[in-house]
């Protein structure tokens, strides 16, 4: 029964997000524009573009993922859904994980799928494009998981979007460093798997601890 409730919650959040297509499109549009402007600004030198490409795409994906974090719990808080989740037989941490999963499927996965196409603008070889996609596939869920903690802590706070950015951006830095660094290492002829393994370890730790921390923050807000 718990699995069925979590599946229903996941599908509900995805359907609600699809009704706000403008919000989803805005995040994707920001990612495309932010990443595409750099080749115009730094010039068309292939060596330079290949050097900055992984970092630019990672930073653009990170900032794009942040755009929708403020709405992760705000609508459920406004209509009383969060209170109902507290009273439901499903553990709140599990319900939070389902909501984070829906957020990633709507805002994170499209970025992962778009990244190889945008990476062509930076003249990245196919090996680096594949590694970039893999690093984003491992790293963008971490962004959603960590961002959920900040979204819960700033729920209902005036100026919460600014506070949210201040809270989570320092926590995003290790993911950014190792995710982009894995691709850069491959381009330099080094092994990318050390950085990729660290991103995977961050994902495993975030999957365990982030829902618990987010649930605790929501209980504090709702009490």
What mean pLDDT do residues 109-138 have? 92
pTM metric for this prediction: 0.92
- Number of Cα atoms under 13 Å in the Cβ half of residue 166: 7
DSSP-assigned letter for residue 107:
I
User: Tens digit of pLDDT for each residue in 88-112?
Assistant: 888 889 999 999 999 999 989 999 9
Q: Is the model's pLDDT at 220 over the cut of 90?
A: no
User: Tens digit of pLDDT for each residue in 64-86?
Assistant: 988 888 788 888 887 888 888 88
| Of residues 20, 123, 119, 115, the one with CA closest to residue 70 | 20
The SS3 of residue 155 is coil
**Cα 7 from chain centroid?**
20
Between 40 and 119, residue with greater pLDDT: 119
Q: Is the model's pLDDT at 159 over the cut of 70?
A: no
| Of residues 144, 67, 61, the one with CA closest to residue 110 | 61
């Amino acid at each position: 029964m718990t699995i069925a409730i979590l599946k229903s919650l996941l599908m509900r959040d995805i359907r609600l997000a699809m009704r706000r297509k403008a919000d989803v499109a805005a995040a994707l549009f920001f990612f495309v524009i932010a990443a595409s402007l750099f080749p115009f600004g730094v010039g068309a030198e292939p060596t330079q573009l290949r050097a900055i490409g992984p970092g630019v795409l990672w930073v653009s994906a990170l900032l794009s993922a942040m755009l929708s974090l403020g709405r992760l719990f705000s609508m459920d808080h406004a209509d009383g859904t969060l209170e109902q989740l507290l009273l439901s037989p499903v553990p709140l941490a599990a319900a939070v994980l389902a909501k984070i999963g829906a957020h990633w499927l709507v805002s994170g996965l499209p970025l992962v799928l778009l990244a190889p196409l945008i990476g062509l603008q930076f003249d990245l070889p196919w090996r680096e494009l594949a590694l970039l996609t893999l690093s984003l596939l491992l790293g963008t869920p971490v962004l959603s998981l960590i961002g959920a903690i900040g979204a819960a802590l700033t729920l209902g706070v005036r100026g919460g979007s600014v506070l949210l950015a201040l809270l989570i951006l320092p926590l995003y830095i290790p993911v950014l460093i190792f995710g982009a660094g894995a691709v850069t290492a491959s381009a330099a002829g080094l092994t990318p798997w050390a950085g990729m393994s660290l991103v995977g370890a961050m994902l495993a730790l975030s999957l365990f601890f982030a829902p618990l921390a987010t649930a605790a923050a929501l209980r504090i807000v709702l009490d």
